[in-house]
Amino acid sequence: MLDNNKTKIFVAGHAGMLGSAIVRALRKNDNIEIITATKNELDLRNQASVNKFFEKNTFDEVYIAAAKVGGIYANSSYPAEFCYDNLIIPINIVNSSFNKGIKKLLYIGSSCIYPKFANQPISETELLTGRLEPTNEPYAIAKIAGLKLMESYNRQFGESHKIDYRSVMPTNLYGIGDSYNAENSHVIPGLIRRFHEAKINKDKEVSIWGTGKVRREFLTSDDAASGCIFVMNMPKVKYTKVTTPMCSHINIGNGDDISIMELAILIKDIIGYKGDLVTDTSKPDGTPKKLLDSSIIQSCGWRPSISLKDGIEMTYQDFLSNYENIRT
């Protein structure tokens, strides 16, 4: 039974990499009661099911961490699903939250929302200033729509209904609970699996997609979770001071990037693979460079705490502990 003296928080997408990190972080606070629902218990794509769930449960805050995610291959192979799922999930949650009278929501977007050739590092104001990266455009458009949905509710109902809906845009994430699927995973978990299996099989080489020259910024899901909670709990006067009604999202990153080739070499060394590393230039690179300007959140007092090397070592241990389940 829920304790009425505790803040009740629904984490949508609690089983995902970032959602589970948010739950781990929130559980450190004894004054918080966390509400979750599995996919079998609640289909977030079904409006009637979401409405019924919100009618039956009571909570004070909602973290929208649920999303369909994947790397270049998955985005290119399933564009309709990436667009539909990432449109309908926030629509259903925001609608039900508003109807239930929930005042505080946090929507978690993606750095894919920014233009392919955005000015670097990418500030929040770069949104909608240019064309998106084609390989994940459907996903990016859906995430932009979710962000603008939050803004629109604030602009129309912020004063009349005293709602406070916020959005964050994390950089590329990895960490505990990541997907190590051979085809659909993001770059770090994908490379971890390929190097590990190449080491076991004594393969002579491992190839990486593209030229290896593109640069990316990476953040552990645990650091991202701390950033999400930090933004959710910022005093409203502070949040409104560093945002505007039509540019209300805040970037979450670490301020450093690395080339995919440098990343691959780092993972190769951590795993201890001794074979060769080659590039497959028949595969797409994606956006040439993607480094977020996280000066707003850092000026407010937040900093990441886990280095890239430490984060990859932690993720590799998570991979090893789940490897038997991953292979089946």
Residue pLDDT, tens place only, 82-96: 999 999 999 999 999
Task: Give residue 205's pLDDT.
Answer: 96
Domain-embedded: residue 130: yes
- What does the pLDDT read at residue 2? 47
Q: For residue 292, what is the DSSP state?
A: B
In a domain, 116, yes or no: yes
Residue 41 falls inside a structural domain: yes
The counts of H helices and E strands in the chain are: 12, 13
Q: The domain containing residue 40 runs over which residues?
A: 7-178+217-256+291-306
Domain membership of residue 11 (yes or no) is yes
Name 196's Cβ contacts closer than 8 Å, sequence gap at least 6. 271, 273, 316, 319, 320, 323
CATH code: domain of residue 15: 3.40.50.720
pLDDT of residue 256: 95
Any domain includes 77: yes
Query: How many angstroms separate the Cα of 2 from the Cα of each of 5, 25, 31, 231, 250?
Result: 9, 19, 11, 25, 32
Residue 158 inside a domain? The answer is yes
Give every CB contact of residue 29 below 8 A, 6+ residues apart in sequence: none
* pLDDT value of residue 72: 74
What is the dihedral angle through the alpha carbons of 40, 41, 44, 49, rounded to the nearest 10 degrees? 120
Task: For tokens 């051979």, name the residue.
Answer: 182
Among positive and negative, which fits the CA dihedral 322, 219, 147, 62? Answer: positive
166 occurs within a structural domain: yes
In a domain, 265, yes or no: no
Task: Identify the segments of the chain with pLDDT beneath 70.
Answer: 1-4, 182-184, 327-328
* Residue 139: C-alpha distances to residues 77, 114, 209 (Å): 12, 12, 20
Catalytically active residues are 139
Into how many domains does the chain fold? 1
